[in-house]
Amino acid sequence: MKALVVGKGGREHALVWKLAQSPRLERVFCAPGNAGTGVDGVNVPIDANDIDALVKFARRECIDLTVVGPEEPLARGIADAFQKEGLPIFGPTRQASQLESSKVFAKKVMRDADVPTAEFRVFDHPDPARLYVQTREYPVVVKADGLAAGKGVIVCSTTEEALAAIERIMVRDEFGRTAGRQIVIEKRLDGPELSIMALVAGRTIIPLAPTQDHKRALDGDAGPNTGGMGAYCPAPLGTPDLLAEIDAQALVPTVHTMKRRRMPFRGILYAGMIITNQGPRVLEFNCRLGDPETEPLLMRLRTDLFELLLATVEDRLGEFGEGNIEWDPRPAVCVVMCSGGYPGTFAKGKIVNGLAEAAKLPDVKIFHAGTRLDGELLLTDGGRVLAVTALGDTLALAKRNAYEAVKRIHFPGASYRSDIADRAIPPG
Ligand code: GLY
């Protein structure tokens, strides 16, 4: 059988690597992929958003399962296009993926389903929004409705900042015309964050091991927001009691509400949670695996990923109960190495050295994100370059193993956080 992974980041490399371990798969393609997916699989030069070309390729190659990494092709309807052609695809339809592609839609579903989340208001014109922010207690969060490459969420500490955010999103269209047509203004919640990714098909919901991301660029959670600078799995914050509460209060009612709205959800439902003093609250939903959360998650997964994803697509997920998914008991830590300047402007094409040395270390896997090959040379090709991931008997040892590998890898301007997983490692 053959699989196709759509995307080109660290998450997609982890998917290709894990799928390629399935004895049922003879080949795993990745479109367009990176230098790492070209080693663990076979790259196909098709852009992740070129849905027509992807459908043609899947038909020609008789692909048995396509797995979509990023949100944009889902929001553009890649699952609908594949399903129309009878091609098996893992990922929600365009309508169902509005849970991620429209913040307004997601908040309305949460309100309908009684899912705990920050109180909010929706605006489709800047004037009432401007009046509203004069009456708020701060901090508040102003969010562009549509996808904005993770940048359309602005935390505001004062009325002036909120007015400026409304201007940027709704008047200057900084995040795109469609994305900024509506905004959500909500109370900013306080607490540690937790990523809960669940497999969903029909009535079956199987939460995967809890993970924690590090969104800020610099140590100590300082600096600007990024796509994610590192992650670890399992996150000790996700105790069985808390996970049961999140399942009952967030995942189950959302999946049922989507079904009632005739937009049944199938794929990964990723609840970005914040654990407040009043209990867990949903910050946002994503409709795909997180990046870099997927890298440590799949490093620990022992169950055949292809079987799991195929069962989801074929509505047989119930065959696996949560207890039948096998995990390596050891935790995993992932450290993202970035191009200097990320998440702002950065240069590409820097030569990466030391990878072979680092890859020899035990229990380490180096997932590529923004990389490409130029002959024999490995070059940087994006903001997030590598997701260096390691297992260890404890979180502290997994962290040590990951940083041992990071130390051996060099490229001009390389930057990374040095405190991934520290918040979960007991002192001493
Ligand atoms: N790491 C956050 C995300 O994938 O959305």
CATH of the domain at 76: 3.40.50.20
Count of structural domains, the chain = 4
Q: Which residue puts its alpha carbon closest to atom 2 of ligand 1?
A: 290
Q: How far is ligand 1, taken at its centre, from the CA of residue 296, in Å?
A: 13
Q: How confident is the model over 326-363, as pLDDT tens digits?
A: 999 999 999 999 999 999 999 999 999 999 999 999 99
Last residue of one domain, picked from the residues 187, 203, 230: 187
Same domain flag for 225 and 292: yes
Q: Which residue has the higher pLDDT, 390 or 176?
A: 390
In a domain, 203, yes or no: yes
CATH number at residue 366: 3.90.600.10
43 and 62 belong to one structural domain: yes
Q: Is the pLDDT of residue 377 over 70?
A: yes
Which of the four pLDDT bands, split at 50, 70 and 90, describes residue 319?
Answer: confident
Distance (Å) of CA 118 to CA 111, 150, 189, 318:
10, 19, 7, 32
Please give the single-letter amino acid code of residue 376.
E
Which band of pLDDT confidence, cut at 50, 70 and 90, is reported for residue 279? very high
- 215 alpha carbon – ligand 1 mean position (Å): 8
Q: What is the mean pLDDT of residues 285-311?
A: 97
- Mutate which of 68, 214, 291 to test ligand 1's pocket (most atoms within 8 Å of Cβ)? 291
Does 176 have pLDDT greater than 80?
yes
CA distance to 17, 27, 220, 223, per residue, from 215 (Å): 24, 34, 11, 9
Which ligand 1 atom is nearest residue 286's CA?
Answer: 5
Instruction: Give ligand 1 pocket residues (Cβ under 6 A).
Output: 213, 227-228, 286, 290-291, 293
Q: What is the pLDDT of residues 73-129, one digit of tens each?
A: 999 999 999 999 999 999 999 999 999 999 999 999 999 999 999 999 999 999 999
Centre of ligand 1 to C-alpha 114, Å, is 24
Does 29 map to a domain? Answer: yes
H or E element at residue 280: strand 279-286
159 near 166, Cβ under 8 Å?
A: no
The answer to whether residues 70 and 288 touch, using CB atoms and an 8 Å cutoff, is yes
Q: Looking at the structure, do residues 213 and 296 belong to the same domain, yes or no? A: yes
| Cβ(184)–Cβ(129) below 8 Å | no
Mutation probe of ligand 1 site: the residue of 147, 293, 295, 297 with most atoms within 8 A of C-beta:
293
Confidence band of 376 (pLDDT split at 50, 70, 90): very high
Q: What is the pLDDT of residue 323?
A: 75
Q: What is the pLDDT of residue 370?
A: 98
Q: Is residue 270 part of a domain?
A: yes
Instruction: At 202, list the tokens.
Output: 């029909």
Kindly tell me the burial class for residue 82, based on how many C-beta atoms sit within 10 Å of its own C-beta (0-12, 13-18, 19 or more).
buried
Ligand 1 atom showing the smallest separation from residue 150 Cα: 5
Residue-averaged pLDDT of the chain: 96
Can you count the helices (H) and strands (E) in the chain?
15, 22
pTM comes to 0.97
> Residue 139: is the preceding peptide bond cis (ω within 30°)?
yes
Kindly state the average pLDDT of the residues 304-320. 94
CB atoms within 10 A of CB 377: 12
Instruction: Give the per-residue pLDDT at 428.
Output: 73
Taking the centre of ligand 1 as the mean of its atom positions, its distance from the CA of residue 160, in whole angstroms, is 29
pLDDT class for 322, splitting at 50, 70, 90? low
Nearest CA to ligand 1 atom 4: 290
pLDDT above 90: residue 426? no
In this structure, are 357 and 243 located in the same domain? no
What are the tens digits of pLDDT across the range 258-271? 999 999 999 999 99
On whether the CB atoms of residues 77 and 52 are closer than 8 A, the answer is no
Same domain for 199 and 320, yes or no, is: yes
Same structural domain, 310 and 396: no
Rg, C-alpha atoms of the chain: 21
Smallest CA-to-CA distance from 141 within 151, 131, 130, 155 is with: 155
150 CA from centroid of ligand 1 (Å): 8
Residues 288-294 have a mean pLDDT of 98
Determine, yes or no, domain membership for 113: no
Task: Quote the tokens at residue 263.
Answer: 């937009």
Q: Are residues 351 and 312 in the same domain?
A: no
> Residue 236 sits in a domain of what CATH number?
3.30.470.20
Which letter does DSSP use for residue 301 in this model? B
How far apart are the CA of 63 and the centre of ligand 1, in A?
27
Residue 99 in any domain: the answer is: no
Q: pLDDT grade, residue 203 (50/70/90)? A: confident
Q: Give the pLDDT band (50/70/90) at residue 411.
A: very high
Residue 345's domain comprises 332-424
Cα 386 from Cα 185, distance rounded (Å): 35
Measured in angstroms, how far is the CA atom of residue 20 from the centroid of ligand 1? 23
